[in-house]
Amino acid sequence: MTIFQLRQQWLQGEMIKRGWSGFLVTHHVDIYYYCGSMQTGYLFIPAEGEALYLVRRSLIRAEEEASADVEALGSWKTLAERLRARCAAAADAPLWIATELDVLPVQLFGKLQAALPGAAWEDGSLLVREQRMIKSPDEVAAIREAARVVDAALEAVIPHIREGMAEFELMALIEHQLRLRGHQGLMRMRAYNSELITGMVATGAAAAVPTYFDGPAGGTGLHPSSPQSSGRALLVRGEPILVDIGCMVDGYLIDQTRTLVIGDLDPELQHAYDVAEQVLRATEAKLQPGMIAEHLYLLALDQVQEAGLSAHFMGYGADQVKFLGHGIGLEIDELPVLAKGFKYPLAPDMVIAIEPKFTFPGRGVVGVEDTYLITDSGWEKLTISREGLIRV
């Protein structure tokens, strides 16, 4: 039995508890998670029995890859009949179907409702996201390899960093080295209208420019049509260079931040950087099964307040973000989130990125980020790049 079929079985057990007839998986990342293929179509997992992957294209690829029965999608007029045939319910019994309403477009949902008249719909998105919090050994292995690639790429680029280099030049060097080592070139996000390239590489005041992206550092980007990350600002001696980068290997992501500087930081920024490391160390000390995700964020807030840096923590002013870290896997913004209101207890095989950072408008952003695997007794750091402020 494949890992994909085991995931389907777990989901089926949860559906039986809830009285659902089946789960119609529409989001391409979730389709991959449950069947190992990402072709255009819909994966129907009945509460009992074999999953059915209805594919628009490429049917040939899906047949080669998927841990499910594969059929051509065909006419929407036959959808109700085909899905009901997979369900154990009586022919006249109502269908209770779950799907990922957090990402499903309203127009498509309307089309599904029309194709399945009389069906009752449930939002199963949280159930899927909670299942995906716990990583298998193969998932962890892919994330660990992505961390190795990020480290090797960063070390290959550091000797070439020079004063007067543009941000986008540095980003291009990093991306080139990442791709040479197997980075797939994507950084997937689940949140609506959220996009992410390989990461955020920005220097000085440009790094502190706010943007729509839900993070402590924005960056100007090259154009208002893509208003984040690297722009045309030049690297200047004494200014912090924030290198917040990721990498995807076999579909799985790593997230890592290092602060670099040509020469030395001024004392206030150096102090803020030191506090960021102290927050990370204090958070590590609490990383263990049973710790509530929210508590780690609240503890960090107390530590930052004591250091007198609350106004700069994770952004500035109205653009401060309200989290310390996030789950990571197939997407960059997975559960659990280390933020107020998230009551999830940490559990073995969760993978979490922790990123204390401080934003100083007009001056820059400093901080650090590492990714951790929660183990039975504590944690393992998956990111392996050298620690500390990197002087170049």
First to last CA, the chain: 50
**Burial group, residue 378, by CB count within 10 angstroms (0-12, 13-18, 19+):** middle
Using DSSP, state whether 92 is helix, strand or coil. Answer: coil
pLDDT for 89 equals: 67
CA distances from 57 to 35, 52, 70, 97, 383 (A): 15, 15, 11, 24, 37
For residues 284-307, average pLDDT: 98
* pLDDT band with cut points at 50, 70 and 90 for residue 196: confident
pLDDT for 214 equals: 84
Q: What is the mean pLDDT of the chain?
A: 96
Amino acid letter, 382: L
235: β partners: none
Q: Residue 212 pLDDT more than 90?
A: no
- pTM for the full predicted model: 0.96
Other C-beta atoms closer than 10 Å to the C-beta of 333 total: 18
pLDDT tens, residue by residue, 1-17: 999 999 999 999 999 99
User: How do strand 364-367 and strand 22-25 relate by DSSP bridges?
Assistant: unpaired
% residues pLDDT > 70 (the chain): 99
pLDDT for 90 equals: 61
pLDDT for 94 equals: 86
Alpha-carbon gap, residue 368 to 387, rounded angstroms: 9
pLDDT for 88 equals: 73
pLDDT tens, residue by residue, 24-79: 999 999 999 999 999 999 999 999 999 999 999 999 999 999 999 999 999 999 99
pLDDT for 197 equals: 83
The label of the residue with tokens 């933020």 reads 339
For residues 268-291, average pLDDT: 98
Q: Render 39-74 in DSSP notation, one character per residue.
A: -EEEEEEESSS--EEEEEE-HHHHHHH-SSEEEE--
Alpha-carbon gap, residue 217 to 227, rounded angstroms: 12
pLDDT tens, residue by residue, 239-267: 999 999 999 999 999 999 999 999 999 99
Token pair for 203:
């220097």
pLDDT tens, residue by residue, 135-155: 999 999 999 999 999 999 999
SS3 for 261-282, per residue? ECCCCCHHHHHHHHHHHHHHHH
Using DSSP, state whether 205 is helix, strand or coil. Answer: helix
pLDDT for 41 equals: 97
Q: Residue 352 pLDDT more than 90?
A: yes
Alpha-carbon gap, residue 106 to 103, rounded angstroms: 9
For residues 271-277, average pLDDT: 98
Other C-beta atoms closer than 10 Å to the C-beta of 192 total: 8
- String of b and e for 291-302 (b: at least 16 CB within 10 Å)? bbbbbbbebbbe
pLDDT for 91 equals: 66
% residues pLDDT > 90 (the chain): 91
pLDDT for 314 equals: 97
Cβ atoms of 307 and 275 within 8 Å: the answer is yes
Cβ atoms of 246 and 255 within 8 Å: the answer is yes
Q: Looking at per-residue confidence, does 214 or 133 come out higher?
A: 133
Alpha-carbon gap, residue 249 to 151, rounded angstroms: 13
pLDDT tens, residue by residue, 69-118: 999 999 999 999 999 999 876 667 789 999 999 999 999 999 999 999 98
For residues 322-331, average pLDDT: 98
Cβ atoms of 374 and 284 within 8 Å: the answer is no
Cβ atoms of 248 and 329 within 8 Å: the answer is no
